[in-house]
Structure 1
Amino acid sequence: MTVLSGWWDDFFFGTLVVLKLFVVALILSVIFGLIGSTAKLSRNRTLRFFANAYTVIFRGTPELIVLLIFYYGTAISLTWFIQLFNPQIKFVDLPPFWAGATAIGFIVGAYMTETFRGAFLGVPEGQVEAAHALGLSKAQTFFYVRVPQMWRLALPNFGNHLLSIMKDTALISVIGLEEIVFVGAMATAVTHQPFLMYMVVALIYLAITTFITVSVAGLEQYANRHMRRAV
């Protein structure tokens, strides 16, 4: 274990980067999922078309390919745009952290779109009609009536999406983000102990995903507490 003595700080800070990446990607995933599910349930045919295209593309393309296309695609696009104003600029790229978080947000957001869509359909239509009868606007009905009830139905699959976000953070090392997989690769190159170093990475991920699983289970029990009392 003396081999690890010089790497604990690197693993610690790499884990902090992973947690920050997870939080940002989670926020983006929820936003994209809510927008996508709302569009899919819309009466507007154009919105439904784009929402369907979004879920088909991002659920049907490997995560690593989406990440690479997004990272290099945004670099090319930003460079082209900046050169319109300053031709002397040679290259502009999006920081790996934000490129990775946004790519994961789009990917998992596509899955959340379907989860939220199914959960919205599970909200009794009578609740929506009652909200309209009380004079609530469409926006108020959405945020005060539909979303609070939708979350209880979405929680089981939502927990799976949280695990997907966390595991997908391991992909971001390929574009140069210094998180724990990157640290594991660097430590392996120095110590020539790949099994030990990647086992540490695996245990860190397992600890985080176990915490997520337990937390979601607790949220499910809390969300369904009124149903147990009714029985």
Structure 2
Amino acid sequence: MFEELWRWSGAFMQGTLVILLVFLVSLVLTVIWGLLGASAKLSGNRAAKAAANAYTVVFRGTPEFLLLLLIYFGSAVTLTALVKLVWPQTRFVDLSPFWAGAFAISLIVGAAATETFRGAFLGVDRGQVEAAQALGLRRLQVFFLIRLPQMWRLALPSFGNHMNSLVKDTALISVIGLQEIMFTADMAASTNSMPFAMYFAVALIYLGFTTIITLGTGHLERRANHFMTVSR
């Protein structure tokens, strides 16, 4: 068993790097979708609020695996149709599994982040926002200097769970052809007939990712609460 694991160690390391890159890209996108969705839900614009509500209902109520397939194949159909408008001779255009997968899981987790950010924004002391406005700060200044930093502190515990979800959801992307660690484990298991050992190695890698995220989030929470205690 150990000989087989060593033989596939290079492939597992490459797959782990792919997972890390997917996670980082999808993390940035998740924050964007979450902030946009929360801002839309808290806005007075009915159309924006309705769109944000539809987004969270659909992406929180549909199986993640199904959403991944719909986004991957749907993006191919959409891109092909758009390109054919310019170059009619085009036969097929699609997103790479990397970008399609990162985009899909960011939308999935971003729906949950939307609700987390919305609740955190509501938890910001309204008096501080009014004081900032009274001092003459503009709307964007109030958002970036007052609301966003305090919202982030309140959202951090739940957002740590969202980051763990992002990491674990990367395991789904192998189904659309991305050569990450699940893809590698499938290949290894099919050649050496040792599926338990191969998948157990993958489980340890994912456990390592989630442990680092959990410890890092806990450290950030303690720092945020320490600063709050000092300020009091």
TM-score where L is the length of structure 2:
0.97
1:39-118 alignment to 2 at 5 Å? 39-118=40-119
2:10 matched residue in structure 1: 9
Q: Deviations over 1:111-155 (max 9, x none)?
A: 000000000000010111011111111111111110001111101
Once the two structures are superposed, what CA deviation does each residue of 1:29-80 show, in whole Å capped at 9, x if it has no partner?
0000000000100011111111111110110011111110000000011111
d(CA) in 2 for partners of 1:8, 1:19: 16
Corresponding residue number in structure 2 for 1:124? 125
Query: Equivalent pairs: percent with the same residue?
Result: 58
Alignment of 1:169-184 (within 5 A): 169-184=170-185
Mean Cα deviation higher: 22-31 or 218-227: 218-227
Aligned equivalent of 1:209: 210
| 1:230 CA drift (Å) | 6.3
CA distance in 2, matches of 1:67, 1:226: 40
**How many residues are aligned here?**
231
Aligned twin of 2:145: 144
- Residues in 1 aligned to 2:103 and 2:121: alpha-carbon distance in whole angstroms: 25
Shift of 1:90: 1.0
Q: In the alignment, is residue 219 of structure 1 matched against residue 220 of structure 2?
A: yes
Which residue is equivalent to 1:19? Answer: 20
Distance 1:11 1:68 in 2: 24
Amino acid at match of 2:163: L
CA distance in 1, matches of 2:46, 2:85: 36
Give 4+ residue runs of structure 1 displaced > 3 Å after superposition.
Answer: 227-231
C-alpha distance in structure 2 between counterparts of 1:230 and 1:33, whole Å: 29
Structure 2 distance, partners of 1:121, 1:86, is 49
Equivalent-residue separation in structure 1 for 2:159 and 2:102 (angstroms): 18
Deviations 1:63-100 (A, max 9, x none): 11111000000001111111122222211110000001
* 1:199 to partner: Cα distance: 0.3
Match of 1:29 in 2: 30
Runs of 5+ unmatched residues, structure 1: none
Q: Distance in 1 between matches of 2:231 and 2:72?
A: 51
**Matches of 2:50 and 2:83, distance apart in 1:** 32
For 1:5, what is the secondary structure of its paired residue? Answer: helix
- Per-residue deviation, residues 143-177 of structure 1 (Å, max 9, x unmatched): 11100011111011010000000000000000000
Q: Deviations over 1:18-37 (max 9, x none)?
A: 00000000000000000000
Aligned-partner SS, 2:165: helix
1:188 aligned to 2:200? no
